[in-house]
Amino acid sequence: MKRYKEAKMGEQAPHVFTIADIAYRAMITEGKSNSILVSGESGAGKTETTKNLMCYLAYLGGNSAAEGQTIEQQVLESNPVLEAFGNAKTARNNNSSRFGKFVEIQFDNVGRISGAAIRTYLLERSRVCQISDPERNYHCFYLLCAAPKEEIEKYKLGDPKSFHYLNQSNCYQLVGVNDANNYLATRRAMDVVGISEEEQEAIFRVVAAILHLGNIDFGNNEGDPESSVLKDDDSKFHLDMTAQLLRCDPESLEDALCKRKMITPDDVIKKSLDISGAIISRDGLAKTIYSRLFDWLVDKINVSIGQDPKSKCLIGVLDIYGFESFESNR
């Protein structure tokens, strides 16, 4: 980074630091904002390139004299948090971003970082419920299954192979990656970005609830083949655990999964769902809860970092979504 600082184009070997340096110098000398677009197909290296750009901008605009957690530290530590909840192993990449990200870094009149905002879009919700070999679900599920023993017992978790949302693929571990260590690292990063212990506990309670929710299965109601009921005692256990973790009433949760509500001008009508409808209802709830959790995380990080209303200049870094071609793409 020291070598590339203020070096002219062509003086050093090609590097993303050059792009960041040009954007920063243009902002300082011309007083105008710039954006850097990081594009490429899945596995091209967009996420790592984006982290390098952010590290370099933090190096140029950092405040070494500041006490406590600096804005640039919080911006950089937001990466492992968002990766834990928004990245997954795909067929071509062990740490693929399954969402788009625009990081807006604000600077004061002397070029120091004074605020930031992260905007995300297009989270791949379907991955929560449906994965194929040799891919994995979002990292956070495997991190939690590798958490310290007392947390595993508290959330009634176990081997990832025992959860429907994880065992649709035969890939559970990544070569050279320790999920237990990454769980602790994610918790430390959450501390830096301003997520309290109580909030962290609530976050992982929701993650555990989604795993239990996926293990709720349905069978036919003997008296009415068009309606569904909980399949067995195992499903009842997972429903009770889901309700406990989400702090809701288990009977109400079961009712919501097995029936749909139709509102008419005169009344509210409940209609029983068949097995297929109940599964769609279960998976829809899981996807909605997860995407709300992800959005809440981003909002929390933004509030913690804070934006500078006086800032006239910013540099935006856009990590565009990595697209792939599939025979069937929903």
118/191 Cα distance (integer angstroms):
18
Which two three-digit tokens encode residue 1?
Answer: 């980074």
- The three state secondary structure string of 71-89 is HHHHHHHHHHHHHHHHEEC
Which two three-digit tokens encode residue 302?
Answer: 């933004």
Please check if 83 is assigned to a binding site. no
> Which amino acid appears at position 57 of this protein?
L
Residues marked as catalytic: 42-43, 47, 93, 96-97, 322, 324
Please check if 194 is assigned to a binding site. no
Please check if 45 is assigned to a binding site. yes
Please check if 300 is assigned to a binding site. no
27/75 Cα distance (integer angstroms):
19
Please check if 126 is assigned to a binding site. no
Alpha carbon distances (Å) from 24 to 65, 117, 133, 160, 298: 21, 17, 43, 45, 25
Please check if 40 is assigned to a binding site. yes
47/68 Cα distance (integer angstroms):
27
Alpha carbon distances (Å) from 257 to 52, 155, 218, 234: 45, 22, 10, 16
Q: Is the peptide bond before 80 cis (omega within 30 degrees of 0)?
A: no
Identify the CA nearest to 226 among candidates 274, 190, 296, 163. 274
152/223 Cα distance (integer angstroms):
39
- Tell me if 265 sits within 8 A of 310, measured CB to CB: no
Please check if 46 is assigned to a binding site. yes
Can you spell out the DSSP letters for 234-281?
Answer: HHHHHHHHHHHHHTS-HHHHHHHHHEEEEE-SS-EEEEE--HHHHHHH
Which two three-digit tokens encode residue 131?
Answer: 């994965």
Please check if 231 is assigned to a binding site. no
- Tell me if 63 sits within 8 A of 11, measured CB to CB: no
Name the helix (H) or strand (E) containing 282. helix 275-305
Q: Which residues fall in the annotated binding site?
A: 40-47
Q: Which residues fall in the annotated binding site for ATP?
A: 40-47
